[in-house]
Amino acid sequence: MRCMLIDDDIPTVEALRRIVNWEEFGITEVQAAHNIQDAKQLFERGEPDLIICDIEMPRGSGIEMIQWARDRQYEGGFIFLTCHESFSFASKAISYDADSYLVKPLDKQELEAALRKSMDRLKNKIMMGEYSKLGQAWLKNQDLMERSFWSDVLTATISPRIQLIQSEVQKRGLAIPVQAEYRLLLVSVPRSQIEREWDESIFHYALSNLTCEILSSQAGSGRMIAYQIDKVFYNAIIAESTADMKGLVANAGEIIRLSRQYLKCTATCYFSEPTAISGLSQLKAELEQADESNIIFRGRVHLPNEPFHVDLSERYTLDTELFTLLFVQKEKAQIVNRLKKELELLTRLNKLDSTTLHSIREDFLQIVYSLLSRQHIQAHRLFADEVTQGLLQKSDSSVFDFMKWAQALTDKTVDSIKEVLQSEGVVERAKRFIQEHYTQDLSREDVAASVYLTADYLAKVFKNETGQTVKEYLNDCRIRAAKQMLIESPASIGEIAMDTGFDTLSYFSTVFKKWTGETPAAYRSKHKSAL
């Protein structure tokens, strides 16, 4: 058997070669690679029976390597090495069917135990005479064909007319009872509910593997469809109506439990009533709609015809007068705490749904925009950064995400109003912006935008504070720079005009003479001769 060692740390590779009696494990050849690119080239020349790979490397991670290998139907052993005992690494390793996950510095006994485990698994595969490659390819192709069929059914790509469905089944060579009824199970995980460290594609793969493992006895892998809509990961599972419902519900609960334990996310499961194949696409849409409106009942199994019991007899209205007063008083902590208590109360009373949360968000925004407008602060610029926009997009997903967004919005709003009321701070920032960008084609609007104010309001504050207009201060910066360059630089007057932000030589000369009482040429001649 052949083993491949992959680690960017050459001493580690040499130590592995030296400390292990490879022949004891039936390994007669040990290859080494120090990055993923070299490892892939070695792999393509001949698949190893076992790969021992560091997870964290500068030119590609071990996770990328196992994903690449598994995508090529590699079924050999895989042992991961890492310097950090990280859950996210371990969970990804598990999701790709790694044999072991060892933390450096390596313990020889642990390494040998891992090698023995990998070799035993490989030998068992050989002894049990698993399907031939041809047979495996046929089975995988059947799974792909069936998964493609069910995906087309769920998306209504195939017309819901039973004759057309029957025709597609025959055309694809599938053994699917068209006249039977089926039940749909939808597993949902919003993007906001998973850890940031997860790569989206790897997470979805891990979730699908976990779901498939738990439900394999009740629904084949060809009946499990993974897909994503906006910010939500879904797994749709089609089970025949004759399947044990009690067992399905228990397994759905297990998906939720293991997702929380191993994937560190909150999964929610929804069951449909049994229906004919022709009705599955409609049921899928209904379950997605139920998931979208589910704000406070996540992390549970929801059975058919069991509504969320949200009490909407009285629509909640945000006390805009109270929150406006708190903003005026600049009480950031009170604003956030009061909003949090309101949402917690609505949750306890089962009065919070997606529509209510959305209306609260709109009312809160209205308060903020109104206050910013009074201070001549441009909200669309203040909240244009990527972080705030990302929080806004997630704010409808859950109470937790809503509060993260509300906290960020409150902090920015109150801090910006404070800066405006302390006009010196705003003017100083505007002056610094001019000093840093005077060589560019600056307008009054550009300067105002840099401090999130309207141009007219900044002009008023700037004039009151400095005694100059924004344009005058800009020209003052440019002339001071030009004076220094005329004395110290050999550049022509025309080049200096361009380098200090003036459009034309004539305009530069006009402004320069107005500021200094001399033409640029006279100023240069006078001061250079004085040196």
What average pLDDT does range 298-305 have in this prediction?
A: 90
Asked whether residue 388 is assigned to any structural domain, the reply reads: yes
* Long-range contacts of the stretch 196-203 (C-beta < 8 A, 24+): 197/86, 197/88, 198/88, 199/63, 200/228, 200/233, 202/63, 202/67, 202/92, 202/95, 203/233, 203/263, 203/265
Residue keyed to tokens 């050849």: 29
Question: Measured between alpha carbons, how far is residue 123 from residues 25, 53, 101 in Å?
Answer: 11, 21, 20
What average pLDDT does range 216-225 have in this prediction?
A: 79
Residue 127: per-residue pLDDT: 59
Residue 139: per-residue pLDDT: 45
What average pLDDT does range 448-475 have in this prediction?
A: 91
Asked whether residue 308 is assigned to any structural domain, the reply reads: no
Domain with 193, as residue range(s), is 151-302
171 and 296 belong to one structural domain? yes
Mean pLDDT, the chain, as a whole number?
86
Asked whether residue 454 is assigned to any structural domain, the reply reads: no
Last residue of a domain, one of 269, 302, 335: 302
112 and 169 belong to one structural domain? no
What gap in Å lies between CA 111 and CA 16, rounded to an integer?
Answer: 9
Instruction: Give the best-scoring range by mean pLDDT among 90-94, 135-139, 506-510.
Output: 506-510
270 and 180 belong to one structural domain? yes
Residue 130: per-residue pLDDT: 47
Asked whether residue 491 is assigned to any structural domain, the reply reads: yes
- For the chain, the distance separating the N- and C-terminal CA atoms, rounded to the nearest angstrom, is 83
160 and 285 belong to one structural domain? yes
Last residue of a domain, one of 233, 267, 302: 302
70-87 residue pLDDT tens? 888 888 888 988 876 655
112 and 166 belong to one structural domain? no
Model confidence at 104, in pLDDT bands (50, 70, 90)?
Answer: confident
Higher pLDDT pick, 435 / 57: 435
Residue 514: per-residue pLDDT: 92
* Total domains in the fold of the chain: 4
411 and 486 belong to one structural domain? no
Model confidence at 173, in pLDDT bands (50, 70, 90)?
Answer: confident
Last residue of a domain, one of 127, 142, 175: 127
Whichever domain contains 492, its CATH number is 1.10.10.60
Whichever domain contains 57, its CATH number is 3.40.50.2300
277 and 328 belong to one structural domain? no
Asked whether residue 374 is assigned to any structural domain, the reply reads: yes
- Mean pLDDT is lowest, of 23-27, 263-267, 329-333, 512-516, for 23-27
89 and 227 belong to one structural domain? no
State both tokens at 97.
């069917």
75 and 110 belong to one structural domain? yes
Asked whether residue 313 is assigned to any structural domain, the reply reads: no
What average pLDDT does range 495-499 have in this prediction?
A: 94
Q: Which residues contact 80 (CB under 8 A, 6 or more apart)?
A: 53, 54, 55, 62, 66, 89, 93, 98, 100, 101, 102
pTM exceeds 0.75 for this model: no
165 and 255 belong to one structural domain? yes
pLDDT over 70 (residue 531):
no
Asked whether residue 314 is assigned to any structural domain, the reply reads: no
292 and 181 belong to one structural domain? yes
Asked whether residue 315 is assigned to any structural domain, the reply reads: no
Burial class from Cβ neighbours inside 10 Å (0-12, 13-18, 19+) for residue 309 reads exposed
362-406 residue pLDDT tens? 999 999 999 998 888 889 889 999 899 988 988 887 888 899 999
Q: Among candidates 61, 54, 62, 42, which has minimal Cα distance to 2? A: 42
417 and 481 belong to one structural domain? no
